[in-house]
Chains A and B, each alone.
Chain A
């Protein structure tokens, strides 16, 4: 399980151990990952990639667990990637999404992987794209990405998934306000979870009024996110949520928006990898780190602006 070529072949055969190992290499930015990914990349592109996001405690993991059940009833194979934050101080993380996803834990056609956000403050780990690709290559029909609904991760998920569901819950009236800025826009589907709680009508009404404003001047063929009420703990509304995902998928395919999204995703991923590699090239050696520290001193001593320091570092 150390040879990239063998690992790539095993992933294409659907071997879970190999897929798990390759995801770790990608997370660790290990050189073996790139060789194996080179090999599997041509075999990817057929999985449906779905995102689920929303504030902590809104029931995302439970909802994903029920979505997985529903896909398994239709005999689709499923990969799940659950992202939890890494500590920016120690780099450590406690990844606990599996607790709510244990019902399919011995099903060989369900592959669940927990990921720490690693380094990218609030955002998704750079390896998320690779993990999606690996699950796609091992033959999963659907890949579901679950992220915590705070910060940059929400914008990143749009650049990773084909369809994004934003999970809201009643009783957090102000929460809708806080997620409005920048986050409402990412939803292709709204799931109002815990719909047995008081205040569900108010939450739905708030979302509807937001949508009315947002779509006032929209084209007729624009996708208007449906609002689905769910009670994840007993599975209510999950069929409707699956139907909403399917509806959006159809919209993506008939309007050509799927290709557009995938093009944007490729552009975004290439640009992030360029940034990563440039940083690596400048700072990746001891000598580079020493030069860098010298420039930091110069900036601190007001001899150079940060911009000139960055320019000088890139010069060589």
Chain B
């Protein structure tokens, strides 16, 4: 009985040590029936891309609270493209100023979810892009 299970990598690039938000998202996605791979704190963009590829995820969800998102998020997209895995969708979240969102989206981040985003909306967006 075949089914197409949605797989999501939740990753924390960079140096901040706060992963409560990432864990809340991971749990919400699990409760929505998805398989969530969580890789822990302080991952480099290259490590995240390698994990995304080995785990064959549909979506990479990045969380960053350190302010370094402009440097880190686009690097993840680049590393995925280098590995012919540019079809994996990348979402961003965390403390991202509104002014940065447009530029991140131009650099290949599908969507950016700020603090207070309803997890239902994130689940819907993941289901849309994974379909």
Contacts and interface: CB of A to CB of B under 8 A. Distances in A.
Contacts of B53: 16-17, 20
A32 B44 CA distance: 34
Nearest to B11: A98
B47 A17 contact: no
Contacts of B46: 106
A92 B40 CA distance: 19
A20 B80 CA distance: 14
Contacts of A39: none
Nearest to B56: A20
Interface stretch (B27-35, B67-75, B95-103, B105-113): B27-35
B63 to A, nearest CB: 15
B122 interface: no
B26 A105 contact: no
A116 interface: yes
Interface in A58-115: 86-87, 90-96, 98-99, 102, 105-106, 111-114
Contacts of B2: 28-31
B35 A105 contact: no
A173 interface: no
Contacts of A94: 26-27, 30, 36, 38
Contacts of A280: 1
A98 B5 contact: no
B75 to A, nearest CB: 13
A284 interface: yes
B118 interface: no
A24 interface: yes
Contact of A105 (B7, B32, B50): B50
Contacts of A91: 5, 33
Given A92-B30, A94-B26, A116-B35, A24 B43 contact: no
B51 interface: yes
Interface string B15-57: 0000000000011011111111111100110110011011110
Nearest to B41: A99
Name the residue in A21, A94, A111, A284 with the highest tally of chain B Cβ atoms < 10 Å from its Cβ. Answer: A94
Given A90-B31, A102-B47, A111-B54, 16 more contacts: A17-B83, A20-B54, A24-B7, A90-B30, A91-B5, A92-B29, A92-B30, A92-B34, A93-B35, A95-B38, A98-B39, A98-B40, A99-B40, A105-B47, A105-B51, A106-B46
26 contacts: A16-B54, A17-B53, A20-B54, A30-B2, A31-B2, A86-B35, A87-B30, A90-B30, A90-B32, A91-B5, A92-B34, A93-B35, A94-B27, A94-B36, A95-B36, A95-B37, A96-B37, A96-B40, A98-B39, A99-B40, A102-B39, A102-B47, A105-B50, A106-B44, A113-B55, A116-B35
Interface of B: 1-5, 7, 26-27, 29-40, 43-44, 46-47, 50-51, 53-56, 83-85
